Amino acid sequence: MTKRYEKYKDSGIAWIGEIPEHWEVIKMRFLCSFKTGDKDTINKEDDGKYPFYVRSPKIERINTFTYDGEAVLMAGDGVGAGKVIHYVNGKFDYHQRVYNFHKIKKVQPYLLYLFLQSFFSYKIEEGGAKTTVDSVRLPMIKDFPIVIPTSIEQEQIVKYLDWKCGEIDRIVEVRERQIKLLGELRTSVISRAVTRGLNPNAPLKDSGIDWIGQIPEHWEICRLKNACSLKGRIGWKGLRSEEFEQISYAYLVTGQDFHSAIIDWTKCYQISKERYDEDPYIQLSNGDLLITKDGTIGKIAKVSNMDKPSCLNSGIFVMKQTKALFEQSYLYWLLESSLLKEFNNYTSTGTTILHLYQNVFENMPFIIPSLSEQQQIAEYLDKKTEEIDSTIDKFKVQIDKLKEYRQALITEVVTGKIDIRSIEIPIPKSN
């Protein structure tokens, strides 16, 4: 059971509430000095000696430093404005629109960092009546109120949160590693099933394709174009975004509408019947497979539960069988395996793949077991991946809850809702 302080007072700030009676509230302008950097993102160097703080959460590298010491940094504009906040102790450089709070007095820099991280978003909402802003101006920062415990309490709070947050972070790291390993296992299970089948004793033969290797002796190989048609929207009659509607005759599907291998029809824009009728080749049917060719390349979705006519927007191929060589469910798993990525890597000639070209993709080799084996493989993968995905989802929920608890704990402690003065903090173990 958490312990509270004996006496509290109103902080005078709605989003802080009560604080211990002997604590202070002081505006930032009285606690530190302020300045911004003199660099731009183009100044980053991949192998730079020092950290380079820009307006995004990612910390870049650079070979210069303009500050050496303890400081708290905040992105001043862009998507990270008022949200991307760092505590730094050492040599670093920073962007011209990143604020450096330095020469900090009356409050430990790390405690200031924790407080800003927990509460500055409230100031943004208060001032702009929205959760995002284009920029954070210095007057807003200078007027931001900070809760100040006594110096002894500050030391205890920092040690306590370092200990507790460290414990939480270690559990999160374990879960994240487990998720990564499970993802790798999932990929391995799928790829092995679609290239070797389910019989470990089946005699093998060389597929004739380096990046596929051996396959069961009785399986065949064919090119995509010899078994399926592949169509995409190419300059479709000058369709413009102004023509997209919330409710109309037909769904217009994009890769952003893919959710866990199915289409979220509620997210789709819609178009008129006249536009839909213009191109029958990109009209969809239940059972079709969709593959993204731009952006995140190779995302797969199955067309199902379609309750009105639907067609493609740009950035997607629709695949339809022209020969009855595949169980549709097996075909999905074949595309979901690592084979598409390996094929792209094999044909990319070392360049970064930004687009899946139809004339290249049509020549992808497809592995063909018997139809009965395809069904068995698909059923096996349906069950096996569901087990893995369920465990991954469970771990993701745990991570979300741990992060929520971590933030709630910080918030409660830095505002004095919990009295941690008498808590014995373990001495950190030396490595």
Give 24-148's CATH code, choosing from 3.90.220.20, 1.20.1250.20, 3.60.15.10, 1.10.540.10: 3.90.220.20
Q: For residue 238, name the pLDDT band (cuts at 50, 70, 90).
A: confident
Distance CA 16, CA 92 (A): 32
Whether residue 126 is predicted with pLDDT greater than 70 in this model: the reply is: no
Where in the sequence of the chain do the CATH 3.90.220.20 domains occur? Answer: 24-148, 217-369
Range of weakest confidence among 85-99, 254-268, 349-363: 349-363
Q: Facing residues of 319 across strands?
A: 230, 289
Q: Select the more confidently predicted residue: 247 or 130.
A: 247
Whether residue 112 is predicted with pLDDT greater than 50 in this model: the reply is: yes
Alpha-helix runs per DSSP H in 226-366? 273-277, 328-336, 339-347, 358-361
Q: For residue 129, name the pLDDT band (cuts at 50, 70, 90).
A: very low
Is the domain spanning 217-369 CATH 3.90.220.20? The answer is: yes
Q: Express each pLDDT in 167-206 by its tens digit.
A: 999 999 999 999 999 999 999 999 999 999 999 999 999 9
Whether residue 66 is predicted with pLDDT greater than 70 in this model: the reply is: yes
Whether residue 269 is predicted with pLDDT greater than 90 in this model: the reply is: yes
CA proximity to 292, closest of 253, 266, 328? 253
Q: Express each pLDDT in 333-375 by its tens digit.
A: 999 999 988 888 877 655 555 788 889 899 999 999 999 999 9
Contacts of 16 (CB under 8 A, 6+ apart): 25, 119, 145, 147, 415
Q: Express each pLDDT in 284-342 by its tens digit.
A: 999 999 999 887 888 999 999 999 999 998 889 999 999 999 999 999 999 999 998 88
- Give the per-residue pLDDT at 131: 45
Q: Select the more confidently predicted residue: 123 or 275.
A: 275
Q: Report the percentage of the chain scoring pLDDT > 70.
A: 95
Burial of 289: CB neighbours in 10 Å, binned 0-12, 13-18, 19+: buried
CA proximity to 194, closest of 213, 171, 175? 213
Whether residue 132 is predicted with pLDDT greater than 70 in this model: the reply is: no
CA proximity to 77, closest of 131, 134, 31? 134
Whether residue 133 is predicted with pLDDT greater than 90 in this model: the reply is: no
Q: Select the more confidently predicted residue: 106 or 126.
A: 106
